[in-house]
Amino acid sequence: MLENAQRMLENAQRMFKNAQRMLKNVQRMLKNVQRMFKNVQLMSQYVSHFASKSLNCGN
């Protein structure tokens, strides 16, 4: 009975540690996604800037 309780406690601790690790990974992923979106925004700004410049040169 006591052994089972101990085993259950150990499993719960392991699960908790895994959950924490998962949360950290998710946070890291979210940061990376934010960074990616920023980069995409910057790139689109550059592209639209250069596109408008080249169009103006055509006129």
pLDDT tens across the length of the chain (59 residues): 889 999 999 999 999 999 999 999 999 999 999 999 999 999 999 999 888 888 777 55
pLDDT for residue 50? 86
Cα–Cα–Cα angle for 19, 23, 25, nearest 5°? 115
Does the predicted model carry a pTM greater than 0.75? no
- For residue 59, the model assigns a pLDDT of 52
Q: Compute the distance between CA of residue 49 and CA of residue 42 in angstroms, rounded to an integer.
A: 10
